[in-house]
Amino acid sequence: MKLFERANIGAMELKNRVAMAPMGTNGLTDIDCGYSRRLIDFYTARAKGGAGMIMTGAAVTNTELEGGIAHFLPRMNSPTYMGRLSELCDAVHHYDCKLVLQLTAGFGRVNFVENNPIQPISASETPCFLAPDVSTRALTVQEIAQLVQSFAAAVGMAKVAGVDAVEVQGYGGYLIDQFQSSLWNKRDDDYGGDLDGRMKFTMELLAASRYAAGPDLPIIFKFTPDHYIEGGRRIDEGLEIARRLEAAGVDALHVDGGCYEVWHRVIPSMYEAPAGQIGLARAVKEAVGIPVIANGKLGRPEIAQNVVAEGKTDFVALGRPLLADPEWPEKVRSGRLDDIRPCIGCNEACLGRGYEMKYLSCTVNPLTGMERDYALIPAVSTKRVLVVGGGPAGLEAARVAALRGYQVSLWERASSLGGKMRAAAVPEFKEDIRPLIEYMSAQAHKAGVEIRLDTEATVEAIRAAAPDVVVLATGSVLSLPDIPGLSRSKVLSTVDAMEAECVAGERVLVAGGGLCGCETAVHLSRQGKSVTLVEKMPELVPDGTNINTRMGILELVALAGIEVLTGTSIIEVTEAGAVVDCGGAEREISADAVVMASGFTRDVSLRDALEDSGVEVFVAGDCANPRNIMGAVWDGFHAGRVM
């Protein structure tokens, strides 16, 4: 299998062609932003799982010119950090894995603006991405030289600490890329103008880095051949940049696409197709003679194997798939494909939590970022555990409890497992969820859980079973507003609409423009329905959904041609459709079906009845608090972990 053949990047020999892609490790560093024991555990788990090289998230090389996010990321701007980086190198090397330290020269216009006392910097004055009303200031020539010196010093310190290679963060609209792009670089001195000028900062940085690295420490450059936006770089210029980087002595090119304006394509949402960026990698590979590293939804084993075997890339970099399952490489190498915990591309725990200043983790793997603290401890006594509900919370609670040594039974009233995940996975644009249902069901069986389908869990039945502990994961019930007409047969929930073979009629009104309502509207539109989507707030998806998912679903809504009415509330469901309040004016909308995307509410009546009879009860998932798959999986994991 070519994916697991040895390969080289410069003088660095790798045991296989699987890399852990660089990603932000928010919340995992020491208080001084050094490489903490917790962060070392995080990377070590992926090295132990079989990756050929670990590419770290960006380490900051200069904190004098930027505040914001630069003050939260790992640092390599002082010898203070070298000892802990050396410990990380040693830990990774124990598993015949190489450590590649990604270094950043800065964030520029994509830096945090709120509560940042330092004005953002860039190649020239340009609007900040997160606050377009705030402009960056142009770096002086002296400051550019300072950044080059800081970067080279970081390379030298990293070499002494024992890293196997360094990667330059030159992609995605970060500071180096801002200099390279005519969209953001409007300078009229030697660092602007034509491509020679716009590449000058990059070339100086690479020359200084090579001097610090010496001839044998590989330098990888991560860059963007195509920004995917109007005015941004297109592929022709991207390939010319690739050739110039090769001529400058770069040992490998790590190819990415897009920028913050289309961040859902840089870090693909679940709506994006697999291997969406492989075309860029292939084009770059045809233009240069040095190794190429590709990323972007390559986590399906057959895809990862094929893109390498077909010569489209030399290496596959996996980010989120290795958060979901650190043992992905070893499981693929040994043929244990059914045991791979699949990434669902939701971006909730890996990306969304970062914007909330919470530690990096994973929706489907709560151990991520807590490899030591949340490690499962064998049970010290035998308990009979009954899990009620076969959705994500129940399946995870059952699996974890069984792995710890408890005797576990799971009752599910439906004829299949998965809970609301089954409805969520119906649209073809959410097919990433389907493997998770299969995985969670299979792992519960493999852990020894006794599963009983078509089983109603009444208080009497539970008492008769006499479990020592009950985990209630019975889900939630539809929450409806108090408006007339909701008892009509034309009114459906989002679950009803997803599970229906075909929603009746040609015209559908979806009430509620949150994530679930938007997904339902797109699904029905793709079935050929004429869909109107109403949302009482001024914009769609107002519920705090992470930026990538929000960008992705709004793009699908726009492409579907759905009529969208924001600032609009449903007043009554009628025989002809529904009456809505649109900015204070009533309007009747014709509809053969009305889908209420008004959310769900918990039901803890069974919990209360069981607790009254003295049964120890854990509540997990939507019946504790209706949320998303992450909330359900994490609740189930911890219920099984701490009981």
Residue 453 CB coordination number (10 Å): 13
**With contact defined as beta carbons under 8 Å apart, do 358 and 351 qualify?**
no
420 Cβ partners below 8 Å, 6+ apart?
Answer: 391, 475, 495, 622
Beta-ladder partners of 14? 7
Q: What are phi and psi of 254, to 5 degrees?
A: -105, 115
Q: What are phi and psi of 630, to 5 degrees?
A: -60, -50
Please choose, from the candidates 217, 185, 212, the residue with its C-alpha nearest in 3D space to the C-alpha of residue 200.
185
Distance CA 469, CA 515 (A): 35
* 3-class state of residue 209 by DSSP: helix
Q: What are phi and psi of 107, to 5 degrees?
A: -110, -30
The sign of the CA dihedral 142, 147, 148, 150 is: positive
**How much is the CA Rg of the chain, to the nearest whole Å?**
26
User: Is residue 359 among the annotated active site residues?
Assistant: no
Please choose, from the candidates 300, 310, 404, the residue with its C-alpha nearest in 3D space to the C-alpha of residue 342.
300
6: burial class by Cβ within 10 Å (0-12, 13-18, 19+)? Answer: exposed
Distance CA 22, CA 365 (A): 18
* 3-class state of residue 233 by DSSP: coil
Tell me which of 174, 191, 359, 439 is the catalytic residue: 174
Task: Tell me the catalytic residues.
Answer: 174
